[in-house]
Amino acid sequence: MAAWSWRNGATKMKIGVIGAGGIGGTIGTLWAKAGHEVFFSSRNPEQLSNLITGENTQAGTVAEAAAFADVILLACYYTTINEAISAAGSLDGKILIDATNPYERENGKLHRVPDVSSGLELAAKLPNTKVVKAYNTLPTATFANEAHRSEPYTVFYCGDDAEAKAILAQLIIESGFIGMDTGNLTQAIHQEPGGVLYNRPMLANEAQQLVTSLI
Ligand SMILES: NC(=O)c1ccc[n+]([C@@H]2O[C@H](COP(=O)([O-])OP(=O)(O)OC[C@H]3O[C@@H](n4cnc5c(N)ncnc54)[C@H](OP(=O)(O)O)[C@@H]3O)[C@@H](O)[C@H]2O)c1
């Protein structure tokens, strides 16, 4: 991990956001406020001017964000993952935080894609990338309105790479939440729609009890 340095006791990261919509824009902005360098991306980067809030934020193409970053937040629709990672180019050696949920739209309604974990699918597609799963269990509004509570809400995360998870845990704290490690990436299924950790704002005690019951 070359491009990070210690600053005021925190780690300054170069972060690329692929899918800078509701969830990507919100989490990326929280990280930028914490002092990280955040590169938001879009297929139409000129439409991201609302996210350029200071000198540590910039916008460009998906490929530019991927090349810039050591850590990628993937927050596009499940159905556009292939297109997004193909546009990104090589993600080898990088940390990819998967915030996607496996939904697809049918007859105007969102449906959970059965028997699929988007986190595990991504890891299979990107064997040289450190895929971790986080920021997918709570609604955008909770991230936007409840960051930095005195009793922070829990962001569940999982993954197979210890260093990637340590960096992610720090990023979760700096975004104003508390991280709860649920284990290796096979645990992603508990965080995704239909899983017991999905869509439930929880304080750390309740979250810990629930995670312990899963092991
Ligand atoms: N909504 C929530 O409360 C919430 C909470 C947690 C997790 N999530 C998950 O986060 C993901 C995004 O949800 P959202 O609500 O943030 O959606 P959103 O606001 O509609 O944003 C979707 C983003 O995906 C990007 N995108 C679409 N097609 C793309 C492609 N082919 N290549 C690259 N980027 C592409 C769009 O970028 P362009 O500018 O290029 O169009 C847009 O920024 C979904 O998987 C969702 O399940 C959502």
Band of residue 169 on the pLDDT scale cut at 50, 70, 90: very high
Ligand 1 site-directed mutation target among 44, 61, 64, 77, most atoms within 8 Å of CB: 77
Domain spans of the chain? 5-214
Strand partners, 95: 71, 130
pLDDT of 6 higher than 80: no
With a 6 A CB cut-off, is 78 part of the ligand 1 pocket?
Answer: yes
Atom of ligand 1 minimally distant from the CA of 101: 47
Band of residue 182 on the pLDDT scale cut at 50, 70, 90: very high
Q: Which strand (E) or helix (H) includes residue 122?
A: helix 118-125
With a 6 A CB cut-off, is 85 part of the ligand 1 pocket?
Answer: no
Entry pTM: 0.96
Which residue, judged by its Cα, is nearest atom 30 of ligand 1?
84
pLDDT of residue 143: 98
CA distance 2 to 66: 15
pLDDT of residue 215: 76
Q: What is the mean pLDDT of residues 146-170?
A: 97
Residue count of the chain: 215
Q: Are 73 and 134 in contact (CB under 8 A)?
A: no
Strand partners, 7: 10
| Sign of the Cα pseudo-torsion (22, 27, 31, 33, in order) | positive
With a 6 A CB cut-off, is 99 part of the ligand 1 pocket?
Answer: yes
Q: What is the mean pLDDT of residues 99-128?
A: 96
List, for residues 80-110, the tens digit of each pLDDT value: 999 999 999 999 999 999 999 999 999 999 9
Band of residue 4 on the pLDDT scale cut at 50, 70, 90: very low
Atom of ligand 1 minimally distant from the CA of 87: 32
CA distance 125 to 197: 25
Q: How far is the CA of 78 from the centre of ligand 1 (A)?
A: 8
With a 6 A CB cut-off, is 193 part of the ligand 1 pocket?
Answer: no
pLDDT of residue 3: 42
Q: How far is the CA of 102 from the centre of ligand 1 (A)?
A: 12
Q: Which CATH architecture has domain 5-214?
A: 3-Layer(aba) Sandwich (3.40)
Atom of ligand 1 minimally distant from the CA of 43: 40
Q: Which residue type is seen at 27?
A: I
Which residue, judged by its Cα, is nearest atom 24 of ligand 1?
76
Share of the chain above pLDDT 90, in %: 93
Atom of ligand 1 minimally distant from the CA of 84: 32
CA distance 197 to 99: 14
pLDDT of residue 10: 52
Q: How far is the CA of 165 from the centre of ligand 1 (A)?
A: 23
CA distance 184 to 158: 5
With a 6 A CB cut-off, is 51 part of the ligand 1 pocket?
Answer: no
Q: Are 56 and 36 in contact (CB under 8 A)?
A: yes
Question: What does residue 191 show for φ and ψ, rounded to 5 degrees?
Answer: -90, -20
Atom of ligand 1 minimally distant from the CA of 100: 45
For the record, the structure tokens of 108 come out as 């105007």
**Nearest partner of 152 among 168, 172, 133, judged by Cα:** 172
